[in-house]
A and B are shown apart, each in its own frame.
Chain A
Amino acid sequence: MARQTKSWRQLHQGTIVKTLLAAVVSLIFFAPILWWMLASIKPTPEILRSPPRLLGFDPTLNWFRVVLGNADPTRFNIETTGSVGRGSGGSTFYSIPYLRDSMIIAVGSTLLVLLLATPAAYALSRFTIRRSKDLTLWILSQRMLPPVVVAFPLFMMFRDFGLIDTYRGMILVHAAINAPLAILLLRSFFDEVPRELDEAAMIDGATRFGAFRGVLLHYLRGGLAATAVLSFIFSWNEFLLSLVLTTGIVRTVPVASSTFTTAFATEWGYMAALGTASMIPIFIFILLVQRHLVRGLTLGALK
């Protein structure tokens, strides 16, 4: 690295400061999540205690047992209170099916959107397209109508095509929502890779698709990773369309979470347990994808 000129000591000090700073900033952003994760093992009064405690409370796994283990909350209510209680029927809190549905839809739509958006982004970057500015804006505009007014017409359309409560329907919709972001994002990553690379490859006998593939594999990993993470997250979090286009046979995590706020109260514990449970797989996914967000290569050799 270029910093070799500096002394080891300076370098070291710099890293420590940066690391500390990075730690502080990311922990500030992480704090609400930590609080939420802790809430998933706290009894209700403890969740609503101010200031919140990191330690020193009686942890409970009841929320998780119901949300992930399909345990009957009635039973826990007897154990802890001696009677059945609010939220006694447990069927609606058991969340493995919601997690499964969300996972299928998010993974499916992410794959679909990458599959369709990457070539489009490449074309926008490499070919001369008449009125490409208008095309780009049109693509972007597909994300501009608020879901509030899109939901009902989509519902009618889905009804006619038999797509209500189907994975493929939700995957198509989420892919369409994410396509504009994916196309524009990937396009700007392609733009960073000099065209000469493609041309050199094609002179060497590669087909157009071969050139595309080469660029993709070598320079777009970070871009693809970032796009995949974002598409996945947007699909995972999308609420209104998932609500309207399903009737409970397929049910995603945000829609399920919304029913944890009942007519009279919020079931904090169940909500926190589901929230925590749904965060862990994504966290692992992000950690795995992280290594593709690596530094780009030096392109000097080409010029």
Chain B
Amino acid sequence: MSAMKDTDAKVAIYRAIEDWRAGRISRRKMLGVLAAAGVALTSRPMLRRSAPSVSAATLQEAAATQPEEIVAFLRDVGGQFRGTTIRVVSEETPPSRAIINLKKEMFEDITGITVNWEVVPLDQVLAKVSQDAASKLGANDIYYFDQAWVGRFINDTYDPRELLDQKPDLAMPNYNIEDFLEPLVRHIAMYGDKMIGFPCDVPIFMYFYRKDIYDELGLQPATTMEEYLENARIINEAKSGEGTYGTVGQMKSGHYALECDMTAYVWSHGGSVFTADGKCALADDFAIQGVEYMRQLQQYMPTAVTTYDWGGQFTAIQQGQGGQVITWGENFPGWDDPANSKVSGLMEPAPLPANTAQRPPEECGFEEHPDLGHQGGSTYCLSRYSKNADAAWIFLQWATCSNTQTMASIIGGGASPMRQSTFDDPRVKEAAQVGVAGTTRHFPEMYNVIMNRMGTEPHLPQWPLIANDIIAVELGKLTTSDDPTGPAMVEIAKKVDEAASS
């Protein structure tokens, strides 16, 4: 260990933070020390690659420098609601966590509004929000909606476009709603011509591969689905003995994750969940071909995939169990994290393989949009039953404005950007380092998928039942057996039709 320098730096960091806590030095001074020490620390020998230039101190400092016009707006307009407490309930996602950490200094201290942000697991969010909406209690002012729930809750929130028009005195200067990427607004935040809230997060399926393994085996990133399957086979044959399988999936029986994987492969083979007349299309040849494809891929996965949800899959890749994968882009920074990952710096994003066939969205029902880039985005929305709607509206604008979103993208460990300005921001680009935990180096490819390859589930109000229960359970039976695909899909389609018509 080249311990001396290291220890000195740590000591300096501790001292600085303690001094700051005790009020002996200013925040700026403390951050300065951190920045200096951070640079010293990055030369540690345990790092696999050269030290990145991004230091947390500069990020934190940047976080503390909010544009003056926003500060003025929060102080003058938000200040009218000093003493108000607003409540938010959300899942624990990278952007949520980032905003929770930014809100005190950048919002609460300036406006005097208290934000009580409750983080709970996703199905509890659904339960809490459903109860709130059904009972019209207004227990939460801001809701977090997964895109799958848009159809169900579309009448329970204020359309933010209307709010921007109707409440000019509460509108944040230069909020610029046009800055949100158009496909995100359309796919995640719209149902019919109503807008449910602002997009806040977009986990989206991307193609990642282990560069070291591809190089070793002489593989190229796949451009077609067949090549992708073939690559999985080759990797599996060469490497599964060492514990690295061809690919990994999130195929936990009975879990929504399985449905997400299925739709991606159904879509990429020309299938869809519904046809334009609202009938389930999961039993047609395209869909069956897609599910067959998924089952072929499954041969090249660890046996545990039938119990992996997205977290299990994330960990498997992180521990070096997969040679390639098509899955949520937001996983990527965690794989690049050298402290926790065995594949730091080894994964590369690549363009998604072309679809074998693709059904145009007009031929699908309930605003389904088939494409391989399955998205699982979410929105922050203002509840119609809120008793502090004005204060909550100000918070909502702050949480989704360009500066805050950019901050969240950097400190949130790779939270996906929603806005063009965030993708273009030099601070975001600067964080595109190889082999660091908060990397943004997959953003260009993510942007590409969002703009060109995004796939979106149908959004009928019964969708949570269909996706989380019917498909997840019935398909789970299939993927843990040797049964033929066709009859099982006929059965699934029958049950989906029953649910959709009820």
Direct contact of A and B (CB under 8 A): yes
Q: Chain A interface (Cβ within 8 Å of chain B)?
A: 43-45, 48, 72, 74-75, 77-92, 152, 155-156, 159, 243-244, 247-249, 255, 258-259, 261-266
**Which of B203, B330, B337 sits near A85, CB closer than 8 Å?**
B337
* Contact of A85 with B437 in the complex, beta carbons under 8 Å: yes
A residues within 8 A CB of B337?
77, 81, 85-86
**Which of B46, B339, B411 sits near A89, CB closer than 8 Å?**
B411
Q: A78-B42, A247-B89, A264-B94 provided; 15 other pairs, C-beta below 8 A?
A: A44-B340, A77-B337, A77-B438, A78-B41, A83-B52, A83-B439, A84-B413, A89-B100, A92-B97, A92-B100, A255-B120, A258-B121, A262-B93, A264-B334, A266-B311
Q: What 1/0 flags go to B68-99 for Cβ under 8 Å of A?
A: 00000000000000000001010111100110
User: Could you tell me the distance in whole angstroms from the C-beta of A82 to the nearest C-beta in chain B?
Assistant: 4
Task: State A88–B319 Cα separation when bound (angstroms).
Answer: 21
Q: Which of A45, A244, A259, A265 has most chain B Cβ within 10 Å?
A: A265
With A74-B60, A86-B333 as contacts: A262 and B340 at CB distance below 8 Å: no
* Contact of A81 with B339 in the complex, beta carbons under 8 Å: yes
User: Could you tell me the distance in whole angstroms from the C-beta of A35 to the nearest C-beta in chain B?
Assistant: 17
Q: Pull 23 A–B residue pairs with CB atoms less than 8 Å apart, ordered by A.
A: A43-B339, A43-B340, A45-B319, A72-B17, A74-B411, A77-B437, A79-B13, A80-B46, A82-B38, A84-B59, A84-B413, A85-B340, A86-B340, A88-B98, A89-B101, A92-B92, A156-B135, A247-B87, A259-B119, A263-B203, A263-B310, A265-B314, A265-B315
Q: Is B448 an interface residue (CB 8 A)?
A: no
**Which of A83, A91, A244, A264 sits near B100, CB closer than 8 Å?**
A91
* Contact of A85 with B438 in the complex, beta carbons under 8 Å: yes
Task: State A261–B315 Cα separation when bound (angstroms).
Answer: 12
Q: Chain B interface (Cβ within 8 Å of chain A)?
A: 10, 13, 17, 34, 38, 41-42, 44, 46-47, 51-52, 54-57, 59-60, 87, 89, 91-94, 97-98, 100-102, 116-122, 124, 128, 131, 135, 137, 139, 203, 310-311, 314-315, 318-319, 328, 330-331, 333-334, 337-342, 410-414, 433, 436-439
B residues within 8 A CB of A255?
120
Task: State A159–B87 Cα separation when bound (angstroms).
Answer: 15
B residues within 8 A CB of A262?
92-94, 97, 311
* Contact of B42 with A91 in the complex, beta carbons under 8 Å: no
With A44-B339, A91-B101, A152-B131 as contacts: A83 and B56 at CB distance below 8 Å: yes
B residues within 8 A CB of A243?
120, 124
A residues within 8 A CB of B34?
75, 78
Task: State A89–B117 Cα separation when bound (angstroms).
Answer: 14
With A83-B438, A88-B98 as contacts: A78 and B339 at CB distance below 8 Å: no
Q: Which of B55, B56, B333 has most chain A Cβ within 10 Å?
A: B56
B residues within 8 A CB of A82?
38, 41-42, 44, 47, 51-52, 338, 436
B residues within 8 A CB of A84?
54, 56, 59, 410-411, 413, 437-438
With A83-B437, A262-B97, A263-B122 as contacts: A248 and B117 at CB distance below 8 Å: yes
Closest 7 CB pairs of A and B: A85-B437, A89-B101, A83-B436, A44-B340, A86-B413, A82-B42, A248-B118
Task: State A265–B330 Cα separation when bound (angstroms).
Answer: 11
* Contact of A88 with B411 in the complex, beta carbons under 8 Å: yes
B residues within 8 A CB of A266?
311, 315
Task: State A189–B46 Cα separation when bound (angstroms).
Answer: 60
* Contact of A88 with B412 in the complex, beta carbons under 8 Å: yes
**Which of A43, A87, A156, A244 sits near B413, CB closer than 8 Å?**
A87
**Which of A79, A91, A156, A248 sits near B116, CB closer than 8 Å?**
A248
Nearest neighbor of B140 in chain A, beta-carbon distance: A247
Q: Which of A78, A80, A90 has most chain B Cβ within 10 Å?
A: A78
B residues within 8 A CB of A89?
97-98, 100-102, 411
Task: State A72–B87 Cα separation when bound (angstroms).
Answer: 25
* Contact of B116 with A81 in the complex, beta carbons under 8 Å: no
Task: State A261–B117 Cα separation when bound (angstroms).
Answer: 17
* Contact of B334 with A75 in the complex, beta carbons under 8 Å: no
Nearest neighbor of B438 in chain A, beta-carbon distance: A84
Task: State A81–B436 Cα separation when bound (angstroms).
Answer: 7
With A48-B319, A77-B339 as contacts: A261 and B98 at CB distance below 8 Å: no
Task: State A244–B102 Cα separation when bound (angstroms).
Answer: 26
Task: State A81–B100 Cα separation when bound (angstroms).
Answer: 23
User: Could you tell me the distance in whole angstroms from the C-beta of A94 to the nearest C-beta in chain B?
Assistant: 12
User: Could you tell me the distance in whole angstroms from the C-beta of B389 to the nearest C-beta in chain A?
Assistant: 18
Task: State A90–B116 Cα separation when bound (angstroms).
Answer: 16
Task: State A269–B120 Cα separation when bound (angstroms).
Answer: 19
A residues within 8 A CB of B139?
159, 247
With A81-B339, A89-B411, A91-B100 as contacts: A159 and B137 at CB distance below 8 Å: yes
Nearest neighbor of B128 in chain A, beta-carbon distance: A244
User: Could you tell me the distance in whole angstroms from the C-beta of A113 to the nearest C-beta in chain B?
Assistant: 27
Task: State A85–B51 Cα separation when bound (angstroms).
Answer: 14
With A74-B60, A88-B101 as contacts: A81 and B47 at CB distance below 8 Å: yes
Nearest neighbor of B410 in chain A, beta-carbon distance: A84
* Contact of A87 with B116 in the complex, beta carbons under 8 Å: no
Task: State A255–B128 Cα separation when bound (angstroms).
Answer: 15
* Contact of B311 with A264 in the complex, beta carbons under 8 Å: yes
User: Could you tell me the distance in whole angstroms from the C-beta of A149 to the nearest C-beta in chain B?
Assistant: 12
B residues within 8 A CB of A155?
131
* Contact of A85 with B116 in the complex, beta carbons under 8 Å: no
With A48-B315, A263-B93 as contacts: A85 and B333 at CB distance below 8 Å: yes
With A81-B339, A89-B411 as contacts: A75 and B56 at CB distance below 8 Å: yes
* Contact of A265 with B311 in the complex, beta carbons under 8 Å: yes
User: Could you tell me the distance in whole angstroms from the C-beta of B332 to the nearest C-beta in chain A?
Assistant: 10
Task: State A85–B59 Cα separation when bound (angstroms).
Answer: 12
B residues within 8 A CB of A264?
93-94, 203, 310-311, 314, 328, 330-331, 334
